[in-house]
Amino acid sequence: MLDIKWIRANPEALDRALQTRGAEPAAARLIGLDDARRTHVTRLQEAQERRNAASKEIGKAKASGDEEKAKALIDEIAELKSFVQSGEDEARRLDEALESALAVIPNVPLEDVPVGADENDNVVHHVHGEKPSFDFEPKEHFDIAGLADEFDLERAAKLSGARFAVLRGELAALERALGQFMINLHTRENGYEEVSPPLLVRDDPLYGTAQLPKFAEDLFKTTDGRWLIPTAEVPLTNLVREEILDEAALPMRVTALTYCFRSEAGAAGRDVRGILRQHQFQKCELVSITKPDESIAEHERMLACAEEVLKRLGLHYRVVTLCTGDMGFGARKTYDIEVWLPGQNMYREISSCSVCGDFQARRMNARYRPAGEKGVQFVHTLNGSGLAVGRALIAVVENYQNADGSVTIPEVLRPLMGGVEVIGKK
């Protein structure tokens, strides 16, 4: 959520930022709501002050024997009391109206974010490695002969419908090894604390990370009012909600390997084959909580941590800086890591790393106290995939496929698979 004080001081900057994100100008409307709130609060304060003063005047009027004035003051106080009571309800309504309006305004991009309308305007930041070469026509993951029985999409459809998968045998073991490899790397070498969070959350955590109210249709909701998490960013970031941290606790870096759940409401007809776009999938999430002056450097650090997974797996990829029109709602700047999939002959996103500034912190009321100071400041938050396990699985089997339909296991994963070097070999 943006700071209304900043909006009042920078209305043109807000509207320019919204224009780059394909959104309508909003500064005048937001300032108008804030003006109405401020005017009403002022009137309410004046009424309360007058009621207090009139109460004191009653005693003086009675002491001087002026019963008529005393009665007039009593009548005035009754009217003021009624106004204050109804006015407090109106103040809450005006507060809620402003907060609701602010809640659907996206974050302001950093100055170095490229301006553009959609994914076609994203800018390649750097490329790692080279595309693999094959002496046969590489296949997509679901067409690799040796794994045909282990991608059991037909039975998954019987169990749960479209966009679910049953992985079996060696393929299930490979998925497990990938997730374990990622969480081990981030906790043992990259300085993240492992967390095992709930997969069901209330409204407030989703509001805090800005999935609610704007993106409710992308989520799954249970009958008791809880939500399945779309990403572990939600519980991990909200670990600091409504808290005041000591400066010494920052930066705070946490990671979790969890299942994630998304309705894919806007993805009808897209990537329906295979396991690229699923309702349920595993992801290793990275979250950092930092001081304001450290968040930009932390963003680069998080990107490097996510990249290291692909480097050790020996996969070719590129990093792109998302343009203003393609960034997520709460992000100020986002890097996407796109891994090369030879079966599709294209790059596909496998990680997004975003710096959000104090946007989420304001929604969560997450603050810290600088050392030696009495006041508090909002923390900055960052999140990134380190990585999406299912897409890493696709990348491994497509890049390491062999002509006979088998798949060679990358060396770093072999110890986690009991020394197995090849799967799918009949």
Residue from 352, 354, 385, 406 carrying the catalytic annotation? 352
Angle between helices 169-188 and 295-313 (to 10 degrees): 140
- Give the max Cα distance, the chain: 109
* Cβ count near 301 (within 10 Å): 19
Three-state SS for 244? Answer: strand
Amino acid type, 377: Q
Q: Which of 99, 264, 308, 349 is catalytic?
A: 349
Q: Is 348 helix (H, G, I), strand (E, B) or coil?
A: strand
Residue 226 annotated to the active site: no
Which ranges of 64-193 would DSSP assign to H, the alpha helix?
A: 67-103, 153-160, 169-188
Query: DSSP secondary-structure letter at 117?
Result: S
| Distance from C-alpha of 45 to C-alpha of 52, rounded to nearest angstrom | 11
What tokens appear for 125 in the block?
Answer: 């930041």
- Alpha-carbon distance 66 to 304, whole Å? 80
φ, ψ for residue 263, nearest 5 deg: -75, -20
Is 242 one of the annotated active-site residues of the chain? no
- Catalytic-residue membership of 76: no
d(CA 423, CA 180): 18
123 near 321, Cβ under 8 Å? yes
Q: Which of 37, 262, 348, 367 is catalytic?
A: 262
Catalytic residue among 176, 241, 277, 318: 277
CA–CA separation, 292 vs 376, rounded Å?
12
CB 393 within 8 A of CB 31: no
Look up 270 and say whether it is catalytic: no
Catalytic residue (one of 354, 391, 398, 406): 391
Q: Where are the beta strands (DSSP E) in 275-365?
A: 280-290, 317-321, 333-341, 346-355
Contacts of 86 (CB under 8 A, 6+ apart): none
Residue corresponding to tokens 């990093």: 319
Respond yes or no: is residue 349 known to be catalytic: yes
DSSP labels, 160-226: H-SS--EE-HHHHHHHHHHHHHHHHHHHHTS-PEE----SEE-HHHHHHTT-TTTTGGGSEE-TTS-
What is the set of active-site residues? Answer: 262, 277, 349, 352, 391
